Amino acid sequence: MGEQWEGWYCVSIMFITFVALLKNVAGPDILMLGALAMMLAAGTVDIDSGLAGFSNKGLLTVACLFVVAAGISHTGALDYYMGRLLGHPKDAASAQIRLMVPIAFVSAFLNNTPVVAIMIPILQKWAHKIGVHKAQLFIPLSFASILGGTCTLIGTSTNLVVEGMMRDRYPEEEPMGLFALSIYGVPVAMSGMAYILIAAPRTKPRRRRWNADLRAMTDFTCPVRVLPEGALDGKTLMNAGLRGLAGLFLTAVQVAGSESEAMAVPGPEYVLQGGDVLWFAGDANGVHQLFRIPGLVPQTKQVDKLNINKTDRRLVQAVIAVRSPLCGQTVRDSHFRTCYDAVIIAVQRSGGRIQAKIGDIVLSAGDVLLLDTGGSFLRLYKHDPAFALVSEVENSSPPQFEKLLPACLTAVVMIVVFVAGLLDLFVAALLASGVMLATGCLTQKQAREAVKWDIIVTIAAAFGISAAMEQSGVASAIADTLVDGGNAAGTGNAGILVAIYAATVFMCNVVGNNAAAALMYPIAAGAAEQQGIERDQMSFLLMLAASASFMSPFGYQTNLMVYGPGGYVFADFLRFGSPMQVVQMVVSVTVVLLGGLWWTAWVGGFGMILLIYGGRSVAAALEAALCGGDASKEKDEGEEDYGDGALKSVPESEASAGPLAGVV
């Protein structure tokens, strides 16, 4: 193992780092960088090799693609197209297919984290609209985004990390093409979707009533106006998707042109008219999602008078201090917009919601104001005596729908020039990032924030640690052990591939996907060289394994993102994800071993999905025919028990006496 002490020193540092990661002593970027520093100081890796990760082309490509994905996200492109692709499926199986296929496709070309972040509120609304419980959709959302990332080279940053390390180790090799991974990744993704179609009906959500969710929310009162001739004018409440919004409750409607009191929530077939005022109650994030819906604008016209560029707008929460000069004044008399360059769009008061229009509200100490303002508000008024606390709502910049076309065209051109071989992927991504900035799809600040620097540092440090493993002989020693063990057991290549896959999955749950891929690559490459496995095949297996995190909500970021909104407990992921993990390992190893017969896996994958989907659809149709009205009654009761955000079952007397009774 090289110089004996160097090998053991390297192993000791890695062991200490893993323990620290398991105990959450510090962030992965800090711990990995610290481990690299210790190895550099001891001379187990030379400085050039230890720092090579920071200039690796694959890593720099990852940083550029973060910016490109953010540009598409900020323009609302995914909101616009995904809402149309989902449609109106008749049963849960159709809903899961309609969800998983487009999500996997989009995730094959974009970072899956912003994709899932944007889809969460869309999916909550859609789940209620089609009558499928959200617990049967959110795990499929996360898993489909993970599976989609394994279908192309740019589908996930892990693929680019492995490709970058392969290029460094074998400089004579041709760079991988965009779809080089697809022949293995697509059948793996199809097998995962087939498993989801089988297992999803058994997903059991925690039972909780809607009013428990209501009590848990910070109840802002937020009136919005339906734009005349806008996207929602003439639509029913149900078709507009305004029943069951994430984090929001529609509490009252004031008909356009009416001077009468706001009425309790009408039925789902109520037709919206331009000028209608809709009153919502909910949390700050819910209000933010409300303003992402085309055709709705804040009721107050003060928003139009804000002298702030749209790209710099965001939502801020401000708590009025005890001795604030605002206390005792109405919002109108306080001249809030003139004084603070901010507009109050919603108010929350302890002990109940406000029963007045925004301009007529008399402000009191402790009121929480939700403000539409610029990025400088936090800096200017964080310590202002008028406010006890000021905080920004995360990711609350409004979407720039007018920039949707240039953003999408930029991403498409980037992919086309790379596939055509006109430009290297790094150059294409770098130019696309510049175009996103030049066309105003992103501000400079948003571009800087889009790059996840902690991930970049973690990957770069993992490159250095990987080099230390090679130079100290640790990587070759582990590879020798794997090869000898596989040969002794008589499992040959299959056993070695399974061992590499399992070890990578374990590492992913300790150090994260990208770092795991970087640390495992020299071991996998060494084993492939000794056993005569094609270097491309071993690299592809590593890419597939490093994205296979299904057993825990903490194994992959998108799993954690859907954990709360889906109403899951940890055991749901363990029960649902464990068989998925085994299925993915078996299929991944099999597809890699098939080599030139990879097309048989495609045929099998498509056939399996069609068979399972057809079976579930027929079963659903038979159940509907046999059960009739009893099934629909059971479904309505289930919706009330589980609570997906609607006030469907609130008695009329309770609703009319609610917090907005008397609003004029």
Quick check: 200 and 127 in contact, CB under 8 A?
no
Question: pLDDT band at residue 347, thresholds of 50, 70 and 90?
Answer: confident
User: How many other C-beta atoms can be found within 10 angstroms of the C-beta atom of residue 294?
Assistant: 15
Q: What is the pLDDT of residue 302?
A: 61
Statement: residue 4 has pLDDT above 50: yes
Q: Name residues whose C-beta falls within 8 Å of residue 418's C-beta, 6 or more positions apart in sequence.
A: 178, 424, 425, 428
pTM of the model: 0.64
Q: What is the pLDDT of residue 541?
A: 92
Between 307 and 36, the more confident residue is: 36
Parallel, antiparallel or unpaired: strands 296-298 and 220-226: antiparallel
Between 478 and 624, the more confident residue is: 478
Q: Name residues whose C-beta falls within 8 Å of residue 101's C-beta, 6 or more positions apart in sequence.
A: 144, 193
**506-530 mean pLDDT:** 83
Residue written as token pair 């769009």? 345
Q: What is the pLDDT of residue 311?
A: 61
Question: pLDDT band at residue 216, thresholds of 50, 70 and 90?
Answer: very low
State the DSSP code for 443.
-
Q: What is the pLDDT of residue 585?
A: 92
Question: pLDDT band at residue 479, thresholds of 50, 70 and 90?
Answer: confident
Span 280-295, pLDDT tens digits: 777 776 777 777 777 8
> Highest mean pLDDT range out of 85-89, 132-136, 219-223, 564-568?
132-136
Q: What is the pLDDT of residue 180?
A: 87
Span 383-419, pLDDT tens digits: 888 888 888 776 666 667 778 788 889 988 998 998 8
- What is the residue-averaged pLDDT of the chain? 78
Q: What is the pLDDT of residue 661?
A: 32
State the DSSP code for 455.
H
Q: What is the pLDDT of residue 144?
A: 92
C-alpha distances out from residue 291 to 178, 243, 285, 474, 493, Å: 36, 15, 10, 55, 55
Q: What is the pLDDT of residue 215?
A: 38
Span 538-550, pLDDT tens digits: 999 999 998 888 8
Q: What is the pLDDT of residue 359?
A: 80
Q: Name residues whose C-beta falls within 8 Å of residue 465's C-beta, 6 or more positions apart in sequence.
A: 14, 32, 35, 36, 39, 45, 518, 519
**457-464 mean pLDDT:** 87
State the DSSP code for 399.
P
Q: What is the pLDDT of residue 198?
A: 86
Which of 1-5, 61-65, 487-491 bottoms out in mean pLDDT, i.e. has the lowest? 1-5
**615-624 mean pLDDT:** 74
Distance CA 522, CA 9 (A): 18
Between 564 and 362, the more confident residue is: 362
Q: Residue type for 513, please?
A: N
Q: Residue type for 360, please?
A: D
Span 222-281, pLDDT tens digits: 778 888 888 888 888 777 777 666 667 777 777 776 655 556 566 777 888 888 888 777
Question: pLDDT band at residue 491, thresholds of 50, 70 and 90?
Answer: confident
Span 11-32, pLDDT tens digits: 898 889 888 877 778 888 888 8
Statement: residue 601 has pLDDT above 80: no
Which of 76-85, 100-109, 223-232, 507-516 bottoms out in mean pLDDT, i.e. has the lowest? 76-85
Which of 177-191, 453-467, 478-492, 493-507 bottoms out in mean pLDDT, i.e. has the lowest? 478-492
C-alpha distances out from residue 599 to 47, 63, 341, 490, 541, Å: 45, 34, 61, 27, 17
Which of 154-158, 159-163, 250-254 bottoms out in mean pLDDT, i.e. has the lowest? 250-254
Which of 302-306, 339-343, 367-371, 428-432 bottoms out in mean pLDDT, i.e. has the lowest? 302-306
Q: Which structural domains are found in the chain, ordered by start?
A: 216-392 (3.30.70.1450)
